[in-house]
Amino acid sequence: MEPNSHDEPHAPATSLWPIGFAIGLVGILVGLIVSWPAVAVGAAIAVFCGFMWVRESSGGYQDVVVHEPERRPARRGPAPPATDGGPAMPVMDDEEVQRYPRSRFLEASTLGLGVLIGGIVTVPALGFMVAPAFIDQDEQDVDLGPLENFPEGQFVIATFFRDPSAGEVSRRTAYIRNNGPLKGVPSFTIISNRCAHLGCPVQPGGPIDDEAKKTVNSGGAHGVTIIPTQPANFSCPCHGGSYDTEGNRIAGPPVRALDRYDFAVRNGNLVLLDTYSVSHVEEKGANAMIHRYKVAGPGEHVDGPESLLYPIQAPH
């Protein structure tokens, strides 16, 4: 019998799919920082390359092994008794028996266990790391008290707890000016004191009437205090950023105007709503044209080519 030329073991060929799979994983990790579309692209690359890698690695299992037919000389004469001769089937040598290659079994087992262990370790860690930034991030409304606490045309400094349950870490300050009615509706300028450079607290550039400080009883939850002031501008003591009374940047390193608060009037009280970011403000007071954007972190551009460097904003 001729030796079977198809029984020789074949070493796996060099493959680029593992490299593509690794690039996809890197794309997912980078996308978690940059943007969700980047996560989707990285995941697509990882899934495709991983599938092709597994397919290529397991492709040899289905190879058809061709055996040459056994040839024996024709026997003449009467058939021998059944008790004569050896076994009915020829005895095959160990080399002739098709076996499941140990190397392929180990390769497939290692790959499967690696993926399983990697998922068990990585997915919970990523979940605990990323999920808190997207859960329970809604800002609470803050009742600042009756409109009589805000004289028309004057600024006041309002301090309050954004989340009373969090304590002092949620204390915020806003500069509020009553602009008077606009088409029969109250108009207010409410500016955040968070510098648009690195988040330092900006200060009013003018006298502060501490003697007229007032504590507002809005249910006791937010601990609101109101102090009259007469600012000519607002300035940051940390790095020299300066803003006019509409919050526009006029000097220093800030990249945009000061953030602002939405507001509502409920039962005769002024209520602070969500925060939003501002690139710049045209005109003044009740006639101001505010170029507003979704709230962004300090130092982040919200308009112009530079905003492309910040495609996604984490919850604030």
Same structural domain for residues 112 and 149? no
Same structural domain for residues 122 and 178? no
Q: If DSSP codes are grouped into helix, strand and coil, which group holds residue 218?
A: coil
Helix H or strand E encompassing 109? helix 102-130
Q: Is residue 184 part of a domain?
A: yes
CA distance 192 to 202: 9
CA distances from 293 to 193, 274, 280 (A): 17, 12, 10
Q: Is residue 39 part of a domain?
A: yes
pLDDT at 175: 96
Q: Is residue 237 part of a domain?
A: yes
Same structural domain for residues 185 and 301? yes
Neighbours of 180 (CB within 10 A): 12
CA distance 286 to 277: 18
Q: If DSSP codes are grouped into helix, strand and coil, which group holds residue 279?
A: strand
- Domain hosting 194: range is 142-309
> Are 298 and 119 spatial neighbours (Cβ–Cβ below 8 Å)?
no
Phi, psi angles (nearest 5°) of residue 240 = 85, 15
Helix H or strand E encompassing 42? helix 36-58
pLDDT at 252: 92
pLDDT at 171: 87
Same structural domain for residues 128 and 154? no
Same structural domain for residues 121 and 147? no
Phi, psi angles (nearest 5°) of residue 144 = -95, 5
Q: Looking up tokens 């606490």, which residue turns up?
A: 149
256, exposed or middle or buried, with CB in 10 Å at 0-12, 13-18, 19+?
A: buried
pLDDT at 1: 47
pLDDT, block means (10 residues), the chain with 316 residues:
49 70 82 79 88 76 59 67 62 58 75 78 72 62 88 92 78 92 90 93 92 75 84 93 94 94 91 92 91 90 84 60
Phi-psi region for residue 106, left (φ > 0), alpha (ψ -120 to 50) or beta?
A: alpha
- Please identify, among 86, 115, 135, the residue that sits at the C-terminal boundary of a domain: 135
Q: Is residue 160 part of a domain?
A: yes
Q: Is residue 84 part of a domain?
A: no
CA distance 12 to 15: 9
Same structural domain for residues 284 and 193? yes
pLDDT at 5: 47
pLDDT at 34: 72
Dihedral of alpha carbons 176, 180, 182, 186, sign? positive
Neighbours of 245 (CB within 10 A): 20
